[in-house]
Structure 1
């Protein structure tokens, strides 16, 4: 018991030492001794972002509902070409906090309805002209309940949509310059980048669709997390699309769109027709070929094997299957309803080598030739595959600068979705990549950091805390040393005391608590084994403590005289 107490004291001392060292190191790291520093959670660090730059054409964080109502206009139009009952743009838009709150006081534009047409738009602070600076469009989308079918793309409305009155008429046929963003229905996942190109020859407008992204995008429609969509279109006719600041598509306006910007120089002559005597057959049946006289078309493909012999144990008089003799008609069998009962069939046990009518096996017929057909020969009248002749394209033009699109005057969301609660946030239109990066740093980066922190395990948080507080490595080292020291002490410490206790308890010498043997005579104590001088010197003297307990009266044992040793009475 004394040994255990000493070990507990040792462990307590080590723990106190570790705690004291941690406190001292923490205080030594703080240059302002005695000053209490309050830490601020990341969710408290969010403030509605603001960028003052001549390179910004629109910013919108949707945190100010009053400012939103003054700037954004809900459409009052009707969708063209659909039933009157569903043509109205009556989907509801509201400023709300996300269902999963990430940053305090962060709000977004939410499409709260499903299976309804919805449109809302806002004028740019100033029109964007496609001249010598890139167009950068960036915004966030959170599909809070996933997305089964519907879009979450944005439209950059063309010049002509210049007033709020025009915005109230915003519908699916309103001219736009660029459409960009995610769209999904069933297993068809898209990330649109469509621009409307004006034919410089005749003024017609045609939509150009970018090639598909290089990466799979299924997760963005079902993980219910915010994602940042960025489109960069440059004056050199190149483009880049990023999701969460990672490139997913890039290319050229001239080469990576369907249909291509520039039409072909030549086209098929629509008036050219294939001549009636034009022969496109490369080979024909040989008209001079005749069927050989010995060709037998009626010979069967297989014949019986003439060398086959019926096995000796074949039973011609026995069927292959017989009724199961052990089968019993069920008690609930109703012959009127179920018909006459018949026992199920089983394999005939008498058919060792076979039963029934024996027939030899069939083998391929060596005389079989099949239906005769004349061989094919090259067609002497073959003229090749016919194709109409080429003529100059009357609509040909060459546009080497498709970047110079129709100026943009407004932005808007014109959507239909089967999933409610689509959330849009932190929209920016600029020509400065640094401004877009700063906008993302003040908004999206904070959200991702908070989400990453919330998903960290206890171990990851501990490692991160230690990385931010290097003095914790010293505390961890001291704790490790304390554990190792305790382990070594428990395994190796106090061996001498343990051995002494064992020797004392295992001795055969008469002790005060030993019972008196029957007959009244004490057992003779064996002579202890002689010990060496070194062992005797190493033997510690037993500690003596004053005996304060009440003495138990001693009694004479039966047949013992006054010279005999007194003993305690034995407990029954």
Structure 2
């Protein structure tokens, strides 16, 4: 057994060496978390966080995290780390969240922000790169958000990913890969995966070699240098909304400069302006169009609304290594999930016993009124 522990430690140590950990937070140093996490002062009505492991837990110290404390409030808090780009590498975002208050309406998601985030003014208007995690509001909304920013617009995953609603701590993991695939895990189990291009509301710019494969074209025939014009109309441009044709005349449209003439550049049989425009769109896509890349990630935070407070956020991790994230999840949530449920079972039994004692006292006093399902209130909300 001792050898097994040593071997496991060696494997974990190797993963630490290979992995890049951009941010990791377990709140194991008491109130020093306040030196790392900055609450927004944008609005005096924002709710406050405290460090707590809740009413029931698997380990009193290890399960401590940021807990919302006031009902009917917005919350905004963030932590910085050295800025980085995930270009060419996986991006793994992971954390735990517990709605022990039996959440009726409120967010449990986390956001990744650019490095230039003003932490003091963090609000719903603050630009972010990624929004990920559960959101609950009655029976109509029980989903996991996966929202990505692209070209300063926010795009949500088209698939419905159901979140956990049972009141226990759960581990949420988002993986964005350089090959434009993604995966969402809950409690270490893959819940959803697929293509970012296909599963988000996006208009792909991929027009790869469209002109060369169009019917009736002969790519082997090309124009000459004498036929080559230096500029062409930008076919992707739109007329401004305030352009008045009667007053301003016909809208000319912007012109783009062409590269120097090269033999064989333009196939014969297609308008050279249209062909070159599509060719340039294709090139731009292949070099710049990557939906999983974020150039300046520098902060992580909670910016959300809750009707009923009590949610606990813990075990934040941002890394480029999927295996490290899996190991970290097992070493944190994996070690405390069982004892957490055991403690809750004990508390429920104690509450039921006290309720029965009160019932007997009411019977003796002749004042008993017990509505149907009276004792059900002591049990965690079951999955719907």
TM over 0.5: yes
Aligned counterpart, 1:347: none
* Deviations, residues 517-571 of structure 1 (Å, cap 9, x unaligned): xxxxxxxxxxxxxxxxxxxxxxxxxxxxxxxxxxxxxxxxxxxxxxxxxxxxxxx
1:104 to 60, 66, 73: 60
TM-score (normalizing by structure 2): 0.62
Task: Give the superposition deviation at 1:89.
Answer: 4.9
Relative to 1, partners in 2 of residues 1:455 and 1:145: Cα closer, same or farther, differing over 3 Å?
closer
Structure 2: gaps (5+ residues): 1-11, 211-234, 240-273, 346-384
Measure the CA separation in 2 of the matches of 1:72 and 1:448.
Answer: 26
Task: Give the superposition deviation at 1:70.
Answer: 0.7
The answer on 1:113 being equivalent to 2:113 is no
Task: Give the superposition deviation at 1:189.
Answer: 2.0
The answer on 1:209 being equivalent to 2:156 is yes
Task: Give the superposition deviation at 1:263.
Answer: 8.7
Relative to 1, partners in 2 of residues 1:184 and 1:262: Cα closer, same or farther, differing over 3 Å?
farther
Paired residues, number: 266
Which structure shows the bigger proportion of residues in helix conformation?
A: 2
The answer on 1:424 being equivalent to 2:313 is yes
Measure the CA separation in 1 of the matches of 2:127 and 2:306.
Answer: 21
Matched residue SS, 1:183: strand
Do the aligned partners of 1:58 and 1:430 also contact (CA within 8 Å) in 2?
A: yes
Aligned counterpart, 1:122: 79
The answer on 1:192 being equivalent to 2:81 is no
Relative to 1, partners in 2 of residues 1:77 and 1:130: Cα closer, same or farther, differing over 3 Å?
same
The answer on 1:61 being equivalent to 2:21 is no
Measure the CA separation in 1 of the matches of 2:310 and 2:204.
Answer: 37
Task: Give the superposition deviation at 1:253.
Answer: 1.7
Do the aligned partners of 2:58 and 2:343 also contact (CA within 8 Å) in 1?
A: no
Measure the CA separation in 2 of the matches of 1:452 and 1:183.
Answer: 23
TM-score (normalizing by structure 1): 0.43
Matched residue SS, 2:24: strand
Matched residue SS, 2:337: helix
1:227 to 148, 156, 170: 170
Of structures 1 and 2, the larger Rg is shown by 1
Task: Give the superposition deviation at 1:407.
Answer: 2.2
Measure the CA separation in 2 of the matches of 1:61 and 1:188.
Answer: 29
What is the Cα-based RMSD across aligned positions, in Å? 3.4
Structure 1: gaps (5+ residues): 1-48, 79-87, 199-204, 271-391, 457-572
Structure with the larger RCO, 1 or 2 (CA within 8 Å, 6+ apart): 2
1:74 to 39, 45, 48: 39
Aligned counterpart, 1:472: none
Task: Give the superposition deviation at 1:155.
Answer: 0.6
Task: Give the superposition deviation at 1:455.
Answer: 8.7
Which structure shows the bigger proportion of residues in strand conformation?
A: 2
The answer on 1:440 being equivalent to 2:329 is yes
1:171 to 120, 123, 128: 123
